[in-house]
Amino acid sequence: MQVSIACTDHNLKNRNGEDRLISKQNTTAPNAVNAARAKFRTVAIIARSLGTFTPQHHISLKESTAKQTGMKYRNLGKSGLRVSCLGLGEYVMFQSVCVAEHLMTIAYESGVNLFDTAEVYAAGKYVSMLLFFHLRSSLVITTKLYWGLKASLQRLQLEYVDVVFANRPDGNTPMEEIVRAMTYVIDRGMTMYWGTSRWSAMEIMEAYSVARQFNMIPPVCEQAEYHLFQRDKVEVQLPELYHKIGVGAMTWSPLACGIISGKYASGVPDGSRASLKCYQWLKEKIVTEEGRMQQSKLKELFPIAERLGCTLPQLAVAWCLRNEGVSSVLLGSSNAEQLIENLGAIQVLPKMTTHIVNEIDNILGNKPFCKKDYRS
């Protein structure tokens, strides 16, 4: 069974503005902002040269910058853990260490505090790279484990983590064993919460029932795919679980592996993700009849994006964020331009009125039936 963990220094008690990262990417920022960023990067360079970093006092951009980025922060499910509504996701960590570090810096300066990685991404080099930020009271880091929890804690230089995510059960492992294992690591102080990844609503409910039956700890969050063409689970099943047992949603692939970006409107261009050999399945999906229909619907959405003064990717990400049950949307970008564009969805979120959402639903024609409208 594969698991993933989220970590921070768990500085969660002071909530009066403490959870807002108030740096901003602005070339006309005040001198104090530029000085803070310069000092921040200098510390990172020193950390790289030394190979380790254990400062007694950290420099926090959220404390030294006077302007807010507009980033929103939400609780992870009904737990007390606060995460940015946009996080940096899996595809970023497949880049080179240099590119990944640049993207993470952009994300952090834009208010992102959630970073989703795995030990296998970038050959495990991301671990030491993440420590350059050394602002653990401001960061939530998730990682998939393949070689053991103890080894990962040593790489992260942490004694405990905040959240452990368990992959979907293989059908052979009893649910009681999974819940007991998650409860064990929490009881031993190695983590604060646990969640699920790609579990069905029935499996999550079973885990909750087992936890209650044997006085153990239930999950607080589910990692699920969510975008314009994948809606049922997040819009129907998870909201019900959220209101009944407090399980939230951390969603991924808001652009459907790039399909919603518009780059595949005229086929599969060279250099795109779908052109890679390991993404042959994506290419095959794009050229199917369903794929062509999706591209046709995206063309109909372009006028809405233009009317709102945003790009299609920004519209798609903001559309995901408008769901009140979504704690955070994980972004996956391969370069700085894409990441900056996607982060701009924060500015589009206030424009996602009921009228706009209904207009999008009419074009998509795939709104799932549910008992209640869970849009905020």
Q: Is 121 a catalytic residue?
A: yes
Residues with Cβ within 8 Å of residue 138, at least 6 apart in sequence:
8, 21, 60, 62, 108, 113
Nearest-angstrom CA–CA distance, 114 and 8: 10
Q: Could you tell me which of 225, 224, 229, 255 has the C-alpha nearest to residue 341?
A: 255
Which pair of structure tokens corresponds to residue 327? 């704690």
Q: Choosing from 73, 108, 121, 226, which is the catalytic residue? A: 121
Phi and psi dihedrals of 248, rounded to 5?
-95, -175
Residues with Cβ within 8 Å of residue 188, at least 6 apart in sequence:
none
Nearest-angstrom CA–CA distance, 226 and 236: 12
CB 164 within 8 A of CB 182: yes
Active site positions, annotated: 121
